[in-house]
């Protein structure tokens, strides 16, 4: 993230010498829009819906969905959540 911020700031400063700020905004928006379109086209809610998934993979996915937890309840790991919510690194990441 730091490298991207530094490169973006430098690139913005350089581009300000050649074009108005509204065009620079458009230049930075275009890759994001392109990625959003690729993401929308490629990724699916269910992996078996994807065209590149073959029949063996679909069978494996279906087999995994029929497996249930022994207690029938979701696995809740309180210790893991306690470590996560008290972690200074996690707080710094959220503070960004």
**Domain range annotation of the chain:** 1-50
Is-contact 6 12, C-beta < 8 A? no
Classify the phi-psi angles of 13: left when phi > 0, otherwise alpha if psi is within -120 to 50, otherwise beta: alpha
Question: Helix count (H) and strand count (E) of the chain?
Answer: 5, 0
Q: What pLDDT digit, counting tens, does each position of 50-94 carry?
A: 878 888 888 888 887 765 555 556 667 888 888 888 999 999 988
Distance of alpha carbon 79 from alpha carbon 76, whole angstroms: 9
Please tell me whether residue 56 adopts helix, strand or coil conformation: helix
- Region 22-46: mean pLDDT is 89
């Amino acid at each position: 993230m730091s490298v991207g911020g530094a490169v973006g700031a430098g690139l913005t400063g350089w581009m300000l010498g050649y074009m108005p700020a509204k065009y620079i905004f458009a230049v930075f928006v275009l890759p994001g829009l392109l990625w959003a379109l690729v993401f929308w086209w490629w990724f699916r809610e269910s992996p078996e819906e994807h065209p590149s998934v073959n029949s063996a993979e679909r069978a494996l996915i279906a087999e995994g969905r029929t497996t249930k937890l022994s207690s029938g309840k979701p696995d809740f790991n309180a210790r893991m959540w306690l470590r996560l919510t008290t972690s200074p690194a996690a707080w710094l990441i959220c503070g960004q």
